[in-house]
Structures are given as C-alpha cells and as structure tokens.
Homo-oligomer: A and B are copies of this chain.
Amino acid sequence: MPDTLSTIDTPAAIVSLPRMRRNIARMQQRADALGVRFRPHVKTTKCAEVVAAQRAAGATGITVSTLKEADQFFAQGVTDILYAVGMAPHRLAHALELRQRGCALQILTDSVPSALAIVEYGRAHAHAFEVLIEVDTDGHRSGIRPGEDALLDVGRTLHQGGMRLAGVLTHAGSSYELADPVALAALAEQERAGCVLAAQRLRAAGLPCEIVSVGSTPTALEASSLQGVTELRAGVYVFFDLVMRNVGVCAPEDLALSVLTTVIGHQAEKGWAIVDAGWMAMSRDRGTAKQSHDYGYGQVCTVDGEPLDGWLLTGANQEHGIVSCPGAPSVNIVGRFPVGCRLRIWPNHACATGAQFSAYEALEEDGSVQAWPRFHGW
C-alpha cells in the first residue's frame, strides 16, 4: 500500500504535485511569451525531482546559491549552472575543479578586487573562467549600479585579464517588499532597464556582454516586456508561499508546500491546540509580520489542504507549535482538533521551511505520497 497523509510520520513537508506542475508551467509560459530563456533558482528546493520537472517543462540550465548545489546537480547531469552569489576567492579551486570536469559553471563578481582574484587564479591555472558582473538595480543587496564607473573597471579587469566576460545579472529582491501590481510592474521595468543599460555600457566600451539575466518571482510574473534581456531567473514560484500571497503574485490554490502536523495536546482555556510542528519544522521565518496580513508562523489548513479561516500557528518552540484562532478563543478546541488529529500549515517562506527537512513528501492527486530527498548544508 502506498503511503498517504494519514500514514507518514509528522512533521512532514508536503508538496502538492498538481499545484507544483501548474506553477512550473505558468512561469515557463511567462518566459516563453517574453521571449527569454528560463533558468530556475534551485536553492528553493535542492531536490532532483523538482528540478527534473522544471527542466522537462523547458528550463535552460539552473541557478544555484552554493557550490554544493552545483556539485549535486552536476552529478545528476545538469551541466549549465550559474552560481549567483559573489565569488569568494577561496572557492575558485572548487569552481575550477567543476569546470575541468565538464560543468559549464558561470561565476559572479561585483568588484575589482574580486575580479582580480578570479583573473589571478585563472591565469595561474591557465583557465578562462566564465564570469558575469552583478548589477544593482534596486539597492537591496549586492552589485554595481548600472551607471557606475566600476562596471567598466570590472569588465576590463576580467576581459583584459583573459577571462570570458559572459554578461550581466541582476536580482530585484526588493520586490518581496511590494504588494501592488503597478509598483511590481514598475520595479520589473527598473530591473530590466538597469540591467540592459549595464550591458549597453559594457558593449559600448568594446567589451563582450552576451547574457543579460534578470529576475525574482514577483518581477518575473509582473514584467510586461523583457526587451534586451536574454534570460529570466526565479525560485520560490515553484511552490509559492504566504509571503508571495501577500505580495499578490499567487492565489491560495497555488500554494504547493505545506507542513503536515499532528495535534499532541491542548490548553483548552486558552483555545490552544499544541502540534508537533514548531520552528524546527516551519523555520523561524516571520516574513509576513511586516506585510498586510500577518500569518504568524503559518496558515492552518485541514489535512486535505483547505485553509481554516483565522486559524494560525501563533507560537512556535523547537518541536511545539501553538494553533489558535486569535479572534475566537471560545471554541471547543479539544473537540475540534483532538489529540492525534492531523493538520497542514502553509509556511511564510517556502525556501526556509523546505530547508528544515531532509525530504519532501510528494503528494499525487490520488492521495499517494512518496519521499523526494533534498540536501542540506554546504
């Protein structure tokens, strides 16, 4: 007999496969319609089966946030890999080893010192790394602003140093802070225009710049044009989550990840059910706290995945969660959610919650589940 949501142990990270497949198709169709390649960010799932589904739907290569992800997916046959975190000099040996084994690994820099380290290591090993320059289009984190002199300095350092200057990359991560389609479309245009400007400046200076890579889940879904862009990246769209729900780029029926949990006790006078999903299962992410709707540590649903309006995971210790309905403390909690009863909880942030588990439990339409391993650490 196949496993089901009634038979597997809890807490478990449940992936609704019909929803995941729909989310994958939606983003691929966006990229196709906008005329760009799509390179999913696999940091969200670190799971071979999910990435296989993204590639089967048309994805061209993958984006990674660690070289461990590159190692793992290269071992599974993916050769086109973009490492989208600024290159630390001590990791160049690892990157070189991957490239020498046949992985078309691209690396990233946003400063002359970092570019010089790449050039020196590459020259010392007679190897031309393929390098993108990170562009800052919204001020939220890393990168060189499109109009800065440093952009050309880094480009010349790499190109004249014998490296392959492959292109420019940006990530408008501040899109997570918005919640209005007009503002999101404006940020998507800012992301596109800034990255294209950086590419144009490099080309005008006689430097190569084939790749123009942009993306975040919200801007990818709200962009109306990606003129001048060659590839789109996004990660959390594959599952979506409550933060994305508040941003406004998905509906409740798109939420593909939930945590299955069991009721282990009550504090009846307080209207609390105690469950076995604490912060170790949900993560400590409270990303919805500063958004329009604060979901606590997550939205409580029935075991069948139907949201229970007003019921939240309002507290979390390591292996204990508190389920309550802040507006209605007088409910008969013991009768409604008896010991042993199972619930599902939508997380705030799918990347953070998934990382707490060593496997997803992939749930088919027929109710069967199977474990899909995911890896952990660096």
A interface residues, Cβ below 8 angstroms from B: 9-12, 43, 65-66, 85-91, 94, 109-111, 113-114, 117, 134, 136, 141-142, 173, 262-267, 274, 276, 279-280, 283-286, 315, 317-320, 322, 334, 338-340, 349, 351-352, 355-359, 376-378
In the bound complex, residues from chain B placing their C-beta under 8 Å from that of A266 are 111
* A39, chain B: closest CB distance, angstroms: 17
Closest B residue to A67 using CB positions: B9
Work out how many copies of this chain go into the complex. Answer: 2
Does A87 contact B352, Cβ atoms closer than 8 Å? no
Does A11 contact B88, Cβ atoms closer than 8 Å? no
Top 7 nearest A-B pairs (CB, nearest first) are: A358-B377, A284-B284, A86-B264, A284-B285, A65-B319, A86-B265, A88-B262
- A sample of 23 cross-chain residue pairs with beta-carbon separation below 8 angstroms, ordered by A number, consists of A9-B378, A12-B378, A65-B280, A65-B318, A85-B264, A85-B276, A85-B320, A86-B264, A88-B262, A88-B263, A88-B340, A89-B340, A90-B262, A109-B265, A113-B338, A114-B264, A136-B267, A141-B317, A141-B322, A142-B264, A142-B265, A280-B355, A376-B377
Does A114 contact B339, Cβ atoms closer than 8 Å? yes
Known: A9-B90, A284-B284, A339-B114. A317 touches B264 (CB 8 A): no
Q: How far is the CA of A340 from the CA of B116 in the complex (A)?
A: 12
In the bound complex, residues from chain B placing their C-beta under 8 Å from that of A339 are 88-89, 111, 113-114, 117
In the bound complex, residues from chain B placing their C-beta under 8 Å from that of A351 are 318
